[in-house]
A and B are shown apart, each in its own frame.
Chain A
Amino acid sequence: MMVDASFPLISVLIALPILAGLAIPLLFKNSQKYIIHYAVIVALIELAITFYSYGLILTNGSGGEYNFVEGPVTILGNFGIDYLVGMDGLSGPLVLITSILTLLVLFGSRDLIEDRKVLYYSMIFIFEGSIMGVFTQLNMILFYVFWDVVLIPMFLFIGIWGGPRKRYAAMKFFLFTFVGSIFMLLAFILIYFNVTPHSFNIPEVAGKIPLSLQVISSVLFFIGFGVKLPVVPFHTWLPDAHVEAPAPISVFLAGLLLKMGGYGFLRFNIGLLPEASAQYAWIFILVGIITMFYGAIVAIVQTDIKKMIALTSVNHMGFVMVGAFTGTVFGISGSIFQMFAHAAAVGIMFMLSGYLHEATGTRNITVIKGLKFTSPRLATLLILGSMAAMCIPIFSSFISEYMVILGAIQVNPIYALIVAVPAITVGYFLWMLRRVVMSDLKPGTKKWDLSNISTIALVLYLVPLVLTLIAPWLILDVANPISTFYAALVSGGAA
Chain B
Amino acid sequence: MAEEINYLIPWLVFAVPILGALLMPVVARFGNRIRDYYAISTTLVSAILCALMLPLAIAGESFHHQVMWIAALDITAGVLADPLSILMANIVGWLSFSIMIYSLGYMKGEENMTRYWFLMVFFIGSMQLIILSDNFLQLFFGWEGVGLCSYGLISFWNKDLKKDYVGTVGEKAWGIPLAFSPTHAGSKAFLMTRVGDVSFLIGILTLFFFSGTFDFVKLSESHGWAVDLAQSGLLIPVALFIFGGAIGKSAQFPLQEWLPDAMAGPTSVSALIHAATMVKAGVFLIARIGPIFVTAVENVATIMPFFEFVAWIGAITAFLAASQAMVSKELKKVLAYSTVSQIGYMMLAFGVAGLTSDFVFAYTAGFFHLTSHAIFKAALFMAAGAIIHGTHTKYMTEMGGLRTKMRITFVAMTIAAGSLAGIPFLSGFWSKDAILASILGVESSLTLISLYAIASITAVMTAFYSFRMIGMIFFGKPSKYIKKMESDGKHVHEAPVIMYAPYVILAILTLGIGLTGPTVEGFLEGSLAHHLEHSVHMEIHHHEFSLNRIAVSTSIIAVIIGCGSSYLFYIGNKMSPNQVITSIPILSKLQNFFENRWYINSLYYIVFINGSLRLSKFTDKYIETGTLSKLNTVVPNYSITSSKYGGRFDRYVVDGTATRIANLNLFLSRNIRKLQTGIAEQYVFVFTIGIIALIILLG
Nearest first, the 9 A-B pairs at minimum CB distance are A300-B616, A438-B158, A430-B187, A438-B183, A171-B676, A416-B202, A301-B616, A476-B72, A480-B72
Question: Please, which residues of chain A bring their CB within 8 A of the CB of B198?
Answer: 419-420, 422-423
CA–CA, A417 and B201, complex, Å: 10
Do B675 and A223 touch across chains, with their CB atoms under 8 A apart? no
B contact patch SS:
helix
- Residues of A within 8 Å of B187, CB to CB, are 430-431, 433-434
Residues A159 and B672 in contact in the complex (CB < 8 Å), given A301-B613, A440-B161: yes
Docked-complex contact B675 and A405, CB < 8 angstroms: no
The answer to whether A298 and B206 have CB atoms under 8 Å apart is no
Q: List A contacts of B140 (CB < 8 A).
A: 393
CB-based contact A175/B73 at 8 Å: no
Q: Collect the chain A residues with CB atoms within 8 Å of residue B694's CB.
A: 219, 222-223
Whether B73 pairs with A476 at a CB distance below 8 angstroms is yes
A residues within 8 A CB of B661? Answer: 175, 178-179
Q: Using an 8 Å CB-CB cutoff, how does the interface string of B238-258 with A read, 1 for contact, 0 for none?
A: 000000000000000000000
Q: Across the interface, do A410 and B209 meet the contact criterion of CB distance under 8 Å?
A: yes
Binds A, one of B141-149, B166-174, B336-344, B436-444: B141-149
Q: Kindly state the separation between the CA atoms of A422 and B139 in the bound complex, as whole angstroms.
A: 19
Given contacts A297-B616, A473-B72, contact A176 B683 (CB under 8 A): yes
9 contacts between A and B (CB under 8 A): A167-B672, A170-B672, A223-B690, A223-B694, A330-B73, A413-B206, A416-B205, A420-B198, A427-B191
Q: Residue B497 at the A interface, CB < 8 A?
A: no
Question: Which chain A residue lies CB-closest to B675?
Answer: A167
Could you say which residues of chain B place their CB within 8 Å of the CB of A330? 73
Of B70, B148, B612, the residue contacting A387 (CB under 8 A) is: B148
A439–B187 alpha-carbon span in the complex (Å): 13
Interface residue? A236 (CB, 8 A): yes
Evaluate contact between A440 and B612: CB separation under 8 angstroms: no
Given A159-B672, A179-B661, A438-B183, decide whether A405 and B201 contact each other with a Cβ distance below 8 A: yes
For window 136-188 of A, CB contacts with B under 8 Å fall at 152, 155, 159, 167-168, 170-172, 174-176, 178-180, 183
Q: Tell me the total A-B contact number using a CB cutoff of 8 A.
A: 158
CA distance A168 to B665 in the complex (A): 13
How far apart sit A434 and B683, CA to CA, in the bound complex (Å)? 39
Q: Which residues of A contact B664 (CB under 8 A)?
A: 178
CA distance A183 to B363 in the complex (A): 64
Q: Which of B498-506, B537-545, B617-625 contacts the other chain?
A: B617-625
Interface string of B615-656 (1 = CB under 8 A from A): 111011001100011001000000000000000000000000
The answer to whether A409 and B145 have CB atoms under 8 Å apart is no
How far is the CB of B25 from the nearest CB of chain A, in Å?
10
Q: Interface of B with A (CB < 8 Å)?
A: 69-73, 140-141, 144-145, 148, 151, 155, 158-161, 183-184, 187, 190-191, 194-195, 197-198, 201-202, 205-206, 208-209, 234, 612-613, 615-617, 619-620, 623-624, 628-629, 632, 661, 664-665, 668-669, 671-672, 675-676, 679-680, 683-684, 687, 690-691, 694-695, 697-699
Name A's interface SS. helix
Q: Does A25 contact B (CB under 8 A)?
A: no
Q: Is A283 in the interface zone, CB < 8 Å from B?
A: yes
Find chain A residues with CB under 8 A from B680 CB: 175
Also in contact, A394 and B148, with CB within 8 A (given A298-B624, A438-B160)? yes
Q: Is the CB of B687 within 8 A of A283?
A: no
In the bound complex, do residue A301 and residue B620 qualify as a contact, i.e. CB atoms below 8 Å apart? yes
Residue of A nearest to B614 (CB): A301
A297-B612, A423-B195 as given contacts; A409 in contact with B629, CB under 8 Å:
no
Known contacts A216-B695, A405-B205, A440-B160; 8 additional CB pairs below 8 A are A171-B672, A171-B676, A223-B687, A394-B148, A409-B205, A423-B198, A430-B187, A476-B70
In the complex, what distance in Å separates the CA atom of A223 from the CA atom of B144?
38
Nearest B residue (CB) for A392: B144
Q: A233-B628, A434-B183 are in contact. Are A473 and B71 (CB under 8 A)?
A: yes
**Cα distance A152–B197 in the bound complex, in angstroms:** 44
**Chain B CB within 8 A of A426 CB:** yes
Determine which residue in B195, B616, B675 has the highest number of CB atoms from chain A within 10 A of its CB, and name it.
B616
C-alpha spacing A5/B160, complex, angstroms: 60
Tell me which of A175, A222, A299, A439 has the highest count of chain B C-beta atoms within 10 A of its own C-beta: A175
Nearest Cβ on chain B to A410's Cβ, whole angstroms: 6
Q: Which residues on the B side are within 8 Å of A398 (C-beta)?
A: 144
The winner among B140, B671, B694, B697 for most chain A CB atoms within 10 A is: B694
Does A294 lie at the interface of the complex (its beta carbon under 8 Å from any beta carbon of B)? Answer: yes
Known: A168-B676, A416-B202. A179 touches B687 (CB 8 A): yes
A195 at the interface (CB under 8 A from B): no
For chain A, residues 174 to 228, give those with C-beta under 8 angstroms from any C-beta of chain B.
174-176, 178-180, 183, 215-216, 218-220, 222-223
Nearest chain B CB to A465's CB is how many angstroms away? 14
Cβ of B191 and Cβ of A175 under 8 Å apart? no
A477 an interface residue at 8 Å Cβ cutoff?
A: yes
Instruction: Determine the distance from Cα of A218 to Cα of B195 in the docked complex, in whole angstroms.
Output: 37
Q: Does A424 contact B (CB under 8 A)?
A: yes
Q: How far is the CB of A487 from chain B (nearest CB, A)?
A: 13
A345 CB–B CB distance under 8 Å: no
Given contacts A300-B613, A409-B206, A423-B195, contact A171 B190 (CB under 8 A): no
Residue numbers in A under 8 Å from B144 (CB-CB)? 392-394, 398
Judged by a CB distance under 8 angstroms, whether A472 is at the interface is: yes
